[in-house]
Amino acid sequence: MKNKVIEINPKKVSGTPVFAGTRVPIKNLFDYLEGGESIEDFLEGFPPVTREQAVTVLEMAEKSLIREVGAN
């Protein structure tokens, strides 16, 4: 699933990165977490997104951050 967790389609939500198979923007997950909400709260608010998808996106962000920080 890791290779198909994020979908970018110009015909879907104006090309905003969304969770694959949904119209839920990836940014919504980060907005929830930044606002102090839990992953459970996010999943309740956006039932089309699976826990596996949310966790995979967070893992991808973590790896990207580690690569970025390590490159400096």
At 20-50, the pLDDT tens digits run 999 999 999 999 999 999 999 999 999 999 9
Q: What is the pLDDT of residue 2?
A: 46
Is 0.85 surpassed by the pTM of this model?
Answer: yes
Q: Is the pLDDT of residue 68 over 60?
A: yes
Share of the chain above pLDDT 70, in %: 94
Domain boundary assignment for the chain: 2-71
Q: What is the pLDDT of residue 71?
A: 72
- The CATH code of the domain at 2-71 is 1.10.10.10
DSSP the chain: -GGGSEE--TTSGGG--EETTS--BHHHHHHHHHTT--HHHHHHH-TTS-HHHHHHHHHHHHHHHHHHHHH-
